Amino acid sequence: MKRRTFISLMSVMAAAGVLSLAGCSSNTSVSTASSIAASASAAAANKLETIQSNGKLVIALEGAWQPWSFHDESDTLVGYDVEVSRAIAEKLGVEPEYVESDWDSLFAGLDAGRYDLVCNGVEVTEERAKTYDFTTPYGYIHTALAVRKDNEDIKSFEDLAGKTTANSLASTYMELAESYGATVQGIDTLEETIQLLTAGRIDATLNANVSFYDYLNVHPDADFKLVAQTEDASHVAIPIVKSEDSSFLDALNSAIDELRADGTLKELSEKYFGQDISSET
């Protein structure tokens, strides 16, 4: 569901714990920690070479956030992120391998090296850029605020003070709602959130405007309306593990640039969103 934050509290706590342990442990522990860090750095440096040698690109996504990634009536994994990442893999000369996981697990898996990248409608933020390298954007979106049709109390983000919303834990939607004074309930999918909203169990919810548009296109009688959206567009890009070797990032950027230039991103945008989200203008 989510335009989401991927620096989870657990990741921060874990990182802090490692630093604390290394600082007060024996020389042997310090040496071990240094060896692990060196191994991780070497693995990151050889990322592109390893991927092309293995012939596959391991891609993490949720698989339950329409139209970004979801299962159709035949249970086939489809969506904008699925097709964009498949096209990127083709440009790299490898096969895509998809791993579906909850939002909270996507970035923990990326940090642990279980995935090569996360392609899940991730918005670029300054905080996230401290932890991950980002590709050039392949999408531009706005965050919208939704309430029940009969709700006349909430007409702007400022009206969220003292209200309840539902969004993915550690998501940018959750952070935005909390910044306006809302209490946020953790929910995994957009479908679940809409159900809570229309049942009157929450006051509002936030999500990508294009995700709401897609939902209303499929469910035109859904009992909610959009009352506001962010003015500036968020940049949607692919996060990867930081590395001094930019070859993997450069290859991903080249693939995205080619897909934009040949019209593939525009075509896929219009297919899944009914409009071109691949361009900022």
Q: Which CATH number is 96's domain given?
A: 3.40.190.10
| Residue 1 counted as domain residue | no
Distance in angstroms (rounded) separating the CA atoms of residues 174 and 240: 23
State mean pLDDT over 20-41: 41
Asked if residue 132 and residue 38 are part of one domain, the reply reads yes
Asked if residue 92 and residue 64 are part of one domain, the reply reads yes
- The per-residue pLDDT for 45 is 54
Asked if residue 241 and residue 212 are part of one domain, the reply reads no
- pTM, to two decimals: 0.73
**Considering its fold, how many domains does the chain have in total?**
2
State mean pLDDT over 39-57: 79
- The per-residue pLDDT for 279 is 87
Asked if residue 102 and residue 222 are part of one domain, the reply reads no
Asked if residue 36 and residue 110 are part of one domain, the reply reads yes
DSSP state of 141: E
Count other Cβ atoms within 10 Å, centred on residue 36: 11
Residues 6+ apart with CB under 8 A from 227: 145, 146, 147, 154, 155, 156
Asked if residue 147 and residue 189 are part of one domain, the reply reads yes
For the cut 50, the answer to whether the pLDDT of residue 247 exceeds it is yes
| Residue 277 counted as domain residue | no
For the cut 90, the answer to whether the pLDDT of residue 23 exceeds it is no
- The per-residue pLDDT for 41 is 47
Higher per-residue confidence, 186 vs 249: 249
User: In the structure, what pLDDT confidence band is assigned to residue 252 with cuts at 50, 70 and 90?
Assistant: very high
User: Residue 58, by phi and psi: left (phi above 0), alpha (psi -120 to 50) or beta?
Assistant: beta
Domain containing 26 equals 9-140+236-272
For the cut 90, the answer to whether the pLDDT of residue 217 exceeds it is no
Count other Cβ atoms within 10 Å, centred on residue 152: 9
